[in-house]
Chain A
Amino acid sequence: MLPTRPVARNVTLGEVMLSPYGLDIIESCLTCKMRAERLFCDLPTSALQSFESIKYATAYPKGAVLFVEGQAPRGIFVLCKGRVKLSICATDGKTLILKIAEPGEVLGLSATVSGKPYELTAETIDPCQVNFVKREDFLRFLREHSDACFKVAEQLSEKYNNACHEVRSLGLSHSAGEKLAKLLLEWSSKNGEANKQEPRLKLALTHEEIAQMIGTSRETVTRLFADFKKRQIVQAKGSTLVIRNKVALKALATNN
């Protein structure tokens, strides 16, 4: 179930070693160049040294499951490289993707803090580097380092905002078209393309996965894209999608 490949930890600080998945593993958080840009990782040196001693740097291939909804919480997973799909599942197997987690996010946080089972399933969609910390080590780390505790609170706040947004979008949207229009506008704003006349976005997900993000079927997503293209609202150029008519897409998103 968990095709983990723990990377040897006794490596000189700062040394970069190659993993089986073609990833440049950053072995030490202390020398990580990306640290300053990441909400959780930007910690004072004392906290970082303490974190360094309890974390396990691990590499995963694409398609690996980090944890499954309902599992007892083992600990947290700090996503260093790659992307992870976070989803929930119904008893009939229907899946809903909540979010595609980006590097810098801490996964399994609320379950690890509360001791309740993981409420989501986390599956890698790229080869990933993940720093794993056991639950008891993490809780002790939080008690000892107030800066880290504050950053965890900030991460949880962001996740809560995201969950509320998801409830709003799933529970209050009228149609699948409205939800898809909202999703495309959201992606374009994340890429910094929102102010452009014709924003472009890279479609990194399949129609099936997009369907799981908006709670509809693959067929509906394919039909909606065909409809949007026919109405000249969007245009596909390979895996890049160009929003040709932003006003029409916004009108669809607000159900006008």
Chain B
Amino acid sequence: MTRITVLFCAEDYLADMESAIQQSCLTCALRPDRLFCDLPTSALTVFNEVKSNLVCPRNTVLFREGQPARGVFVLCEGRAKISVCSESGKRLTLRIAVPGEVLGLSAALSGSPYEVTAELLDNARVAMVKRKDLLSFLREHREACLHVVTLLSQDLHIAYDRVRSVGLGRSRRARSARAS
């Protein structure tokens, strides 16, 4: 059974979001355009069972770097800022995640703490899957595992680009200016 959780808010948008909430992945019209979601019906039915739907207002922090990995967050609607933080609290944005992306994937797979912070930039709809459920889902559904491998490869390309631009692209002064 699909669970729906509203993380926070009593604002006007909530009513709209709740009425528009996509309860089932099986009937989601956006699915074919999204790499992770475009799964065979058998896998999708299982995924639908293990996910929880969340409606979150903007500025919600889905997870913080250093927290133990609870699971993954599939961004159905809305964008999220992915950033890293220094001990002194200085923050550097890695990228802006768009709908269709799966957040927290590498931490959930490796079992290590989240290596980044994900904060919503818009009011968003998110499907959350607990780590334990995700691991058994991926072991049972090869197609989903292949999609995850492709997604991780893409994430890695973006991360290496970021390493290049931070480490080689700019002067220290320009880099400092970018870190807020």
Contact = CB atoms under 8 A, between A and B. Distances in A.
Contacts of A163: 156, 159-160, 162-163
Interface in A68-110: 88-90, 94, 96, 98, 109-110
Interface residues of B, number: 43
Nearest to B150: A113
B159 A160 contact: yes
Interface stretch (B3-11, B51-59, B79-87, B121-129): B79-87
Contact of B86 (A98, A154, A168): A168
A153 B152 contact: yes
Interface string A23-44: 0000000000000000000000
Nearest to A164: B115
A146 B145 contact: yes
B50 interface: no
Interface of A: 88-90, 94, 96, 98, 109-111, 113-114, 116, 119-120, 142-143, 146, 149-150, 152-154, 156-161, 163-168, 170-173, 215, 254-255
A172 B85 contact: yes
Interface-central residue, A96, A160, A161, by most chain B CB under 10 Å: A160
Given A90-B169, A146-B142, A153-B152, 15 more contacts: A110-B154, A114-B157, A119-B157, A150-B139, A153-B138, A153-B149, A156-B156, A160-B159, A163-B163, A167-B92, A167-B94, A170-B167, A171-B179, A215-B167, A255-B87
A32 to B, nearest CB: 24
28 contacts: A88-B163, A90-B164, A96-B168, A111-B153, A111-B157, A120-B160, A142-B149, A146-B142, A153-B138, A153-B148, A154-B109, A156-B106, A156-B153, A157-B105, A157-B107, A158-B106, A160-B155, A164-B115, A164-B116, A167-B162, A167-B166, A168-B92, A170-B166, A170-B167, A171-B166, A171-B178, A172-B90, A254-B88
Interface of B: 84-88, 90, 92, 94, 105-107, 109-110, 112, 115-116, 138-139, 142, 145-146, 148-150, 152-157, 159-164, 166-169, 175, 178-179
A254 B156 contact: no
A164 B145 contact: no
A156 B159 contact: no
Interface secondary structure of B, over-half rule: helix
A248 B112 CA distance: 28
Contacts of A89: 168
A134 B114 CA distance: 33
Contact of B106 (A114, A116, A160, A171): A160
B66 to A, nearest CB: 11
